[in-house]
Structure 1
Amino acid sequence: MTHVVAQPCDGCRYTDCVVVCPVECFYEGEKMLYIHPEECIDCEACVPECPVEAIFHEDNLPEEWKDYLQLNAEKSETCEVITEKKTPLAED
């Protein structure tokens, strides 16, 4: 099981979640973050840290955002890992 970054992160890319992740499973894309599904340990530490409520357990992912499960898996393979807080796109 894994957590998934969904549509509310697109264009915001807040990074509050990455600093609390104990396994460094977040990856930085151009417009949003992604969670590597095989690295996520389901600790849920990231969920309350997301100011736009974009992180969901895969079982609770809203139907309209189901495609984000596959997108996170694909993008986390090609993007760079992120472990430090950065200025979000919403504030650039």
Structure 2
Amino acid sequence: MTYVIAEPCIDVKDKACIEECPVDCIYEGPRSLYINPDECVDCGACEPVCPVEAIFLEEDLPYEWTAFAKANAEVFDTAPGGAAQHGPLDRDHPLIAQRGKTGA
């Protein structure tokens, strides 16, 4: 299992989770943050600091947000190898890009 960033993060991007991540697996997209499942070590450090409660263990994702697990994985063409080294992503996953500006 891995951690997943879901809908509440859209257009928020507080970034407190980035500061807490010990393995640098949280990437910034234009409208949301993403956890690279190939780099996440399932430590859970990011979850309690999220001010909008957008981070879930994949198996605990609310039903209405289960598609976000796939979106977090698919936004990466390859495993970039660390968010700080890679820099911001140049695009959001279509699931996020198509959401209304309010996240609904």
TM-score w.r.t. the length of structure 2 is 0.73
Sequence identity, in percent? 49
Aligned length: 83
Residue in structure 1 matched with residue 21 of structure 2 by the alignment: 21
Q: In structure 2, list runs of 5 or more residues that go unmatched.
A: 86-104
2:75 is paired with a residue whose SS is helix
Q: Compute the TM-score of the two structures, normalised by the length of structure 1.
A: 0.83
Give the C-alpha shift of residue 6 in structure 1.
0.1
Q: Which residue of 1 aligns with 2:52?
A: 52
Flag structure 1 segments of 5+ consecutive residues without an equivalent.
Answer: 84-92
Deviation at 1:81, TM superposition (A): 1.9
Give the letter aligned to residue 37 of structure 1. Answer: P
Higher relative contact order (CA 8 A, sep 6+): 1
Alignment RMSD, CA only?
1.9
